[in-house]
A = this chain, B = another copy of it.
């Protein structure tokens, strides 16, 4: 049986021959067995070990063990020290998440720096099974039950089809030494409970449970793939890129079946949680807004507009009297004295320099702002002006104002204020241009 296991693995590893590999080795039985199998298969690999400093002493002993293994097999050894608890605290994530982030970030760094083609990890079928139950117990979706893929981008998990016990039997039969696996404290209780109580109970009811489970997961992955295929068909029909983010076509969304499920799939990576509210947004008043931790969804007339939250800035830029040019995020300004008004377009205004109060400022619109629109009578609230122009919320937010003191000179690239306009032909004229 151990020979069969080795041969199976050998054929699985065959396609990795002549590729430069990075092997993630914790020192546990799984990764040590994988190391020996890669060595036996004469693969070109280096070893990477993360020291998460989560257990007094034991972590350092793990590190030494893996270092000695690398020396024994005469392969390159990379090691990195992490302050996992500090990172977890800073990022506000669990220790487990922190360790995963740190681990994969470092692996990727190593990969690019040293041109490794694949990263090999020793995940096996029981890991997948335990993750299935952890997710199920917490509540999850299809993606939480369908398991990880054996090959996903540059990460390869050759042991994924094999059980922990099969790997341990092989290790013992071949006198392979390993360090007892360390599961971090947070998930230790729940993972151990699954491993030692739940799974044995399921295996009592079906001795071939793990085998059935692998088939079940492969069915689930197939379904997941079909959902992906369907969304790839829908995506270009629903979503278009706009200047400020993405537009989702409301009419199309209403036309298709299972709209809430489609909305969930399209937006699930943007941290929304109140999915009923997201769905109800389709029929809400234009202007209604929903926030996630990172994103914002605005109901406009024909679209739901998705933008990043951090795109909304409230900076104020200054332009002094000496500036002939100013390169600002919303465009490049130029200030020129001209003899007469020759060309009129959205990108320029002509003003009376005597009225300007330097330094000028460029800022976003605020509630309560008003101006005296050129070509109209009286004063007007900026918000009403936006409403007349039927601007969407992101369009409003991305409109800048050129101000002189507290007075608005120009709703930039839209409309001048008549208080600064040229009223007599003998006046000095300054042409202000903003090219977005």
Contacts and interface: CB of A to CB of B under 8 A. Distances in A.
A: interface residue count bin: 35 or more
Contacts of A230: 226-227, 229-230, 233
Interface string A197-223: 110011011100101110110011011
A212 B134 CA distance: 12
Contacts of A223: 141-142, 223-224, 227, 261
Interface of A: 136-142, 144-145, 190, 193, 197-198, 201-202, 204-206, 209, 211-213, 215-216, 219-220, 222-227, 229-231, 233, 256-258, 260-262, 264-265
A229 to B, nearest CB: 5
A147 to B, nearest CB: 13
Contacts of A137: 202, 205-206, 209, 212
B261 A140 contact: no
B205 A258 contact: no
A141 B261 CA distance: 19
A204 to B, nearest CB: 8
Contacts of A215: 139
A289 to B, nearest CB: 25
Contacts of A193: 201, 204-205
A212 B213 CA distance: 21
A136 B215 CA distance: 10
Contacts of A205: 137, 190, 193
A261 B222 contact: yes
Contacts of A190: 205
Given A193-B201, A201-B198, A141 B216 contact: yes
